[in-house]
Amino acid sequence: MPSFPKRLAGFRLSTLALAGCVASGVLACSGPQGPEGAAGPQGTPGKDGVPTPVRLLDDKVGRWLPENRTRINGMISTLGIASPTFDPKNRPVAVFDWDNTVVKNDLGDATFFWMLKHDKVRQPADKDWSTTSRHLTLEARTALNDACDTAARPGEPLPTSTTPGCADELVSIYNQGKTRAGQAAWTTPITLTLNTAYAWVAQLQAGYTPEEVRGFARSAYAENAFNPPGTTQTVGTTTGLAYHVQVYEEMVDLIETLQANGFDVWVATASPQFVIDAVSEELTGIKPNRVIGIRSMTDAQGRVTAHFQGCGTVADGEDTLITYDQGKRCWINKLIFRQPAERQLTRQADASARQVFAAGDSDTDLAFVQDATHLKLAINRNKVQLMCNAYANHQGSWLVQPMFVLPRAQQTASYPCTTALDAAGQPITDEAGNRFTQNHADSVYALP
C-alpha cells in the first residue's frame, strides 16, 4: 500500500489517512473545486500596535541564497498583512510553476511512467492513435500500431508492464519526440501555447475519472519520494528515466509564509490538472482550487477525454492551447484575474491585475514570470530565455536561485541571449520587449 513519506512531503494529512485514500482507489479524497473567497489572516500586533508579518522565511530551513531570502522577506513585509495598504478582499497574488520549481523533477513524467509500469494507458478506440492526439504524425501512429495493436482490444488497458515494445514506443514519442526508428512523432511539436508531448500525457489519461487520475498521481509520488536524489528507473527497456520526485522544503516554507501573510498563492503547471491538484495541498498547503494545470474536458459520465478546455480566443476542444508558455499567462488571466477572453493572452497593463510574485525554472514559465510586478524568481536550470532575463535583471526585480537539490553545474559558455530564438522563431526579448544587447555569463549556480 503506497503512502507518502511525511518528512519528505511535509504533509498535513496523516500518512495513514493518505494511504487510505490511495488504497480506496481512487479517491473519495479529491479536493474542493471552485474559487475561494476567504480573506487573509490578521496581522499580529507589533511595537506601538503596528501589525508585523505573521512570520518570515525561516533562516534555518534550506539553502536560500541570503540575498534572495532578504528580498522575499522584504516583499512579504511590504505587501502582506503588515502593510497599511493590505486589502483582504484584494490580496496580493503569488504564482508558482510546479515541476522543478516547487518539487525536484517532474510529477507529470513520474505519473506517466507509473501508468506504463502499472498498465493504465488504454488501447485507443479502433486502435486509432490519432484519437489520442490529432498532432501525431502518420509515422508515429504506425509505429504505435505496430508495437501495441496485438496487446489489447480497444478501450482495454495496454499491458505495457509486460509488453516492452509498446512501452518503449510510448516513452520514445513522449521523451524524444521521435519514434524508436527515429522518425518525427509530432506534426507541430512546440508552439508558444502548446507542447504536444506534455499534452499527450493528459490525453492518455482519457477514459478515467479525475479521482482515478489523482490516485495514479498520489501513488506515483509515493513511489518516487522515497528514492534518493538521482535514482533512475527502467520503463519497458528504456533506462535512465528519473525515479525521484521530492518537494523542496524551502518552497514549502515560502508558500506557507506567503499564505500566513495574506497572499493568494497559486500553481500554474504544464502537468495535468488532476495530477498536481492531487498532491498540492498535502505537500504545500495549496488547495486544489488554486492549481491551474492542463484542463481536460470530460464526457457525460465525468470521465477525462483527449480534448482540452479553451482559453482566450481558443475554443474548447480546439486542442492548441494548454497551460504552457504563454498559455500559462492566458489561464492565469482567465481564472485568477477574470479578464475577458480577448485579453487573456496578453500582459495586463493594469499592474493590479497581475501577480506580484512569480517563480519558475523554465523558458516556458517566462511569460507569467515576466508579468510579476514585484519579484521574479528563476530557479537556475540553465534555460537560456529564463536565465537571460534573470541576469539582465530588468528593473532590478529578478532573483536567481540554484536548485535546492543537486544544483546544475555552471554553464561554462555565456548564454546566447543576443542570438537565441523563441518557440515562434523570433529573437528572445526581456519583459519590456527589448532585444538583448549582450550575452550573460552564468554566475549564480552554487548553493551556500
- Domain borders along the chain are 44-104+250-402, 106-242
- Asked if the model's pLDDT at residue 6 lies above 90, the reply is no
pLDDT at position 141, please?
98
- Please give the pLDDT value at position 9: 44
- pLDDT tens-digit map of 404-413: 999 999 999 9
Q: 44-104+250-402 has which CATH code? A: 3.40.50.1000
Mean pLDDT of 253-280: 98
Specify the range with the lowest mean pLDDT, choosing from 49-63, 82-96, 155-169, 189-203.
49-63
Residue 22 pLDDT: 40
Average pLDDT on 272-281 reads 98
Contact 197, 177 (CB under 8 A): yes
Average pLDDT over residues 136-154: 98
Report whether pLDDT(20) > 50.
no
Predicted pLDDT at 30: 39
pLDDT digits (tens, 9 = 90+) for 44-71: 555 455 567 889 998 888 899 999 999 9
Percentage of residues of the chain with pLDDT beyond 70:
89
Q: What is the pTM of this model?
A: 0.89
